[in-house]
Amino acid sequence: MTNLILKSEILNNVLENKPIARQEIIDIYQNSIKNSNDLFLTAQNLRIKNKSNSVTFSKKAFFNIVNLCKDTCSYCTYKAEPGEEKISLMSKQQIKDLLELSKKYKCVEALFVTGEQPEQKYPEAREWLKENGFKSTSEYLVHSSEMALELGLFPHTNAGNLNFEEMKELKKTNVSMGIMLENVSERLTKKGMPHHLAASKKPQTRLKILENSGKLGIPMTTGILVGIGETIEEIIDSILAIKELHEKYKNIQEVILQNFHPKPDTIMKDTPSANEEYFKKIVALTRIIIPQMNIQIPPNLSPRSYQSFLQLGINDWGGISPLTPDFVNPEFSWPEINKVEENSKKAGFDLKCRFPVYPEFFSFISKKLRDKIAVIENEEGYVKEEYWK
**pLDDT by residue (tens digit) across 32-58?**
999 999 999 999 999 999 998 999 999
Phi first, then psi: what are they for 132, rounded to 5°?
Answer: -90, 0
**pLDDT by residue (tens digit) across 180-224?**
999 999 998 898 888 887 777 899 999 999 999 999 999 999 999
- CA–CA distance, 308 with 299 (Å, rounded to integer): 10
Phi first, then psi: what are they for 87, rounded to 5°?
Answer: -60, 140
- Whether residue 87 has pLDDT greater than 90: yes
Domains defined for the chain, CATH in brackets: 47-388 (3.20.20.70)
The pLDDT value recorded for residue 268 is 87
Confidence of residue 7 (pLDDT cuts 50, 70, 90): low
- Whether residue 145 has pLDDT greater than 80: yes
Neighbours of 25 (CB within 10 A): 22
> Which of residues 191 and 298 earns the better pLDDT score?
298
The pLDDT value recorded for residue 9 is 83
The pLDDT value recorded for residue 365 is 98
Distances (CA, A) of 335 to 83, 165, 317: 31, 37, 11
Work out the average pLDDT over 254-272. 90
Instruction: Report whether 140 contacts 132 (CB < 8 A).
Output: yes
Which amino acid is residue 118, in one-letter code? P
The pLDDT value recorded for residue 4 is 47
Can you spell out the DSSP letters for 184-224? --SGGGSTTSTTTT-GGG-HHHHHHHHHHHHHHT--EEEEE
> In this structure, what is the dihedral angle of CA atoms 118, 201, 357, 106, given to the nearest 10 degrees?
50
Phi first, then psi: what are they for 128, rounded to 5°?
Answer: -60, -45
- Whether residue 1 has pLDDT greater than 60: no
Work out the average pLDDT over 118-140. 95
**pLDDT by residue (tens digit) across 320-356?**
999 999 999 999 999 999 999 999 999 999 999 999 9
Work out the average pLDDT over 79-83. 88
Work out the average pLDDT over 127-152. 96
Q: Is the pTM of this model over 0.75?
A: yes
- CA–CA distance, 115 with 70 (Å, rounded to integer): 7
Work out the average pLDDT over 85-91. 94
The pLDDT value recorded for residue 192 is 86
Confidence of residue 6 (pLDDT cuts 50, 70, 90): low
Confidence of residue 77 (pLDDT cuts 50, 70, 90): confident
Confidence of residue 2 (pLDDT cuts 50, 70, 90): very low
Phi and psi based region of residue 196 (left: phi greater than 0; alpha: psi -120 to 50; beta: remaining):
alpha
